[in-house]
Amino acid sequence: VSDGDSELDLHAADITFHKPQRPDLVVYPSSTDEVSRVMAIASERRVPVTPFGAGSSLEGHVIPTSGGISLDLSRLDRIVEIALDDLSATVQAGVTRLALERAAGEHGLFFPVDPGADATLGGMAATNAAGTTTIRYGKMRANVLGLEAVLADGSIVRTGGRARKSSAGYDLTSLLVGSEGTLAVITEVRVRLYGIPEHVVAQRISFPTLEAACRTAAAVVAAGSAVSRLELLDAWTLAAINAYRGTDYHEGPCLLVEAAGTEATVEADLELVRELAEADGATEIVDERDPTARARLWAARHDATYAAAAASPGRSERATDTCVPVSELAGAVAFARAELERLGLDGAILGHAGDGNVHVSLQLDPDDPAELALADEFVQRLIADALARGGTCTGEHGIGLGKIAALELEHGDLVPLMRGIKDVFDPLGIMNPGKVFTPREER
């Protein structure tokens, strides 16, 4: 337990423009039982509790806006089991995705969900995270088989099981996945693992415009291709990556593609992508066949956010995260570019193109109210556009503090049902208050 200044500051903020606010105390439990005891005491004394994984979420999720306890799960870092015959792993909530990757890799297996940060599995479950391989393997919800969780009153529950599927009652595993620390503290996660494919090739494809890249991405998806990654980057992001990592990738709009499987399926997948890209005017297609070059490429992609931050010293990021049907991707990206220009804002456009997931990374002066207001207008316009296209206000980052109004806009009719669920799990309102919904007293 700590109330030292640096510990409080570390748990007061994320890496974005959201205003920091300290907890009163940081608590580092080392076991599920300790989590249970903390929650029982917090419940008895009505102390707010904000679970904290790696603190890499991007919408103010971990900022303890009502003070209280920041419950840091990083000491729950044990890989409990790798079940080779069942292709699953059970890990404590504080295990990070790279730690799981190393452990599973020793057995020729991997866990596919890969947000850019080295997030914890508990945090990834709590935000229903996605990554570059979602186009093939799905998000966290598709990959979590079961959970152990501690409820607000300290009781310990287990959802799901070892079986690969179940129809036993309401699916509380899926409900807790994506609940952003507002319903329960996740202490253990059981996930699916997959065999590392025998043959993998990545491809870098440059285009004259971002919209052409988007059209190709949509065509690849519509063709039913089994590519395992399909990512969009703009020239600004590639320049930032080159400067940050010392690479020399072409600095223009591009798609990064990966195909994985047998040699024959990989070559067929890549040939299809090549044909579709050429039809959209691709200017350069480079295959990355060497495993080191491929690993460098994906490490560079994962570092895009950090590269953007390094290119913008003294500024804070506001990351947007709308998601549209892939057929609408080119239109959504064109709209984002036009709005950036109209408002005079600098922003990098990138995304998980195969999922229709658009990110615009704005680098802002957090002390300039006029710039913050323009960024706010931009994000609202982007959300309205995504909804008009049949999309959503967030494809993967979640609601946190930053998208509360957007959730009302998208699902206003469902918010009362969601609040009802929250009340069942957390009748005293101590679980990460002020996230997903406005707090009860402010309604």
Ligand X SMILES: Cc1cc2nc3c(=O)[nH]c(=O)nc-3n(C[C@H](O)[C@H](O)[C@H](O)COP(=O)(O)OP(=O)(O)OC[C@H]3O[C@@H](n4cnc5c(N)ncnc54)[C@H](O)[C@@H]3O)c2cc1C
In the complex, the residues that contact ligand X under the rule CB under 6 A are 15, 50-58, 61-62, 73, 93, 115-117, 119-120, 122-124, 126-127, 129-131, 180-181, 185-186, 305-306, 396-397, 432, 435
Name the 3-class secondary structure at 426. coil
Got the DSSP string for 309-345?
HHTSTT-EEEE--EE--GGGHHHHHHHHHHHHHHHT-
- Rounded CA separation 92/189 (Å): 6
Kindly give the pairing relationship between strand 49-52 and strand 69-72. Answer: parallel
Q: What is the dihedral of CA 417, 418, 419, 425, to 10 degrees?
A: 110
Between 94 and 253, CB nearer to ligand X: 94
| Amino acid letter for position 398 | G
Decide whether 206 or 394 has the Cβ nearer to ligand X: 394
Question: What is the nearest approach in angstroms of ligand X to the Cβ of residue 174?
Answer: 15
Q: Min. distance of Cβ 154 from ligand X in angstroms?
A: 14
Give the separation between CA 48 and CA 51, rounded to whole angstroms. Answer: 10
Nearer to ligand X (CB atom), residue 82 or residue 151: 151
**Under 8 Å between Cβ of 409 and 391:** no
Nearer Cβ to ligand X (280/426)? 426
Q: Which tokens sit at 408?
A: 């009302």
CB of 39 to ligand X, least distance (A): 11
Q: Residue 323 CB, nearest distance to ligand X (Å)?
A: 11
Q: How far is the CB of 131 from ligand X (least distance, A)?
A: 5
Q: State which residue, 261 or 400, has the beta carbon closest to ligand X.
A: 400
Q: Give the residue with the Cβ less far from ligand X, 189 or 221.
A: 189
Pairwise CA distance, residues 296 & 403, whole Å: 33
Chain-centroid distance, C-alpha 56: 9
Closest to ligand X by CB, 55 or 112: 55
Closest contact distance (angstroms) between CB of 130 and ligand X is 4
CA dist 410 and 374 (Å) reads 22
Burial class of residue 77, CB neighbours in 10 A (0-12, 13-18, 19+)? middle
The crossing angle, in degrees rounded to 10, of helices 329-343 and 369-388 is 160
We find the least distance from the C-beta atom of residue 352 to ligand X, in angstroms, to be 7
When CB distances to ligand X are compared, the closest residue is 123
